[in-house]
Amino acid sequence: MTFSTGTVRANDLQFSYIEKGEGPLLLCMHGFPDIPSTFRYQLDAFADQGYRVVAPYMRGYSPTEIPQNGFYQTVILGLDTLALIRNLGYENAVLLGHDWGSSAVTAAAVLDPGKVKKLITVAVPYGSKLGEAFVLSPEQQRRSWYMFFFQLPLADIAVPVNDFAFIERLWRDWSSVLSHTKCTYQSSPNPSQQGAIRRPWRHHCQGSRRSCGEFGELPSGEP
């Protein structure tokens, strides 16, 4: 599989991305600990259907720039998505989000519905259901244990140990039938800034329990 690469300035950050195809924009926002290449089959399939399929590295994921202001809230992810649509040269787009990326594309649809031609979410539903499951479902609590762990200062110390063996173990637990190489997960949240691992997930876990509008007062750069 061969993809083109590029960069674009959006919401005061330099985003790196992979892409394939020409036509209307289909923007793919990845989850954790995924990276854009986890959409490789979707890039091929939708490019063959006549789309320009773009999968950016989300904020905090190398080689995309780390936000110096430390903002990773859901509404900021939505503003990133809207800015990417505009600065890639489009009026609107089909949005596909997985996991954390689902929160991003849903926020974009809430903030500016006219920019979203179709909304596709995978693994994380719209609304309050996930937050309810965190409280009511022991099974979901077990599946999402790492999100709660990332709220602790200990995560900043433990996750990078042994060349990020923590991340590799997540990959092996969740995709046990796959072979794993360093290139698969080397672009997980960039730890070069203090708190870069924990900070996105502190806000992601909080954001899953709140509507996008409740974050409306948060500051951001110009999209």
**What is the pLDDT averaged over residues 144-173?**
85
**What is the pLDDT averaged over residues 84-97?**
98
Q: What is the pLDDT at residue 195?
A: 45
> If 0-12 CB within 10 Å is exposed, 13-18 middle and 19+ buried, where does residue 115 land?
middle
pLDDT digits (tens, 9 = 90+) for 10-57: 999 999 999 999 999 999 999 988 889 989 999 999 999 999 999 999
> Which domains occur in the chain, in start order?
4-212 (3.40.50.1820)
> If 0-12 CB within 10 Å is exposed, 13-18 middle and 19+ buried, where does residue 206 land?
middle
**What is the pLDDT averaged over residues 147-163?**
86
Q: What is the pLDDT at residue 147?
A: 84
Answer with the residue of higher pLDDT: 144 or 86: 86
Q: What is the pLDDT at residue 190?
A: 52
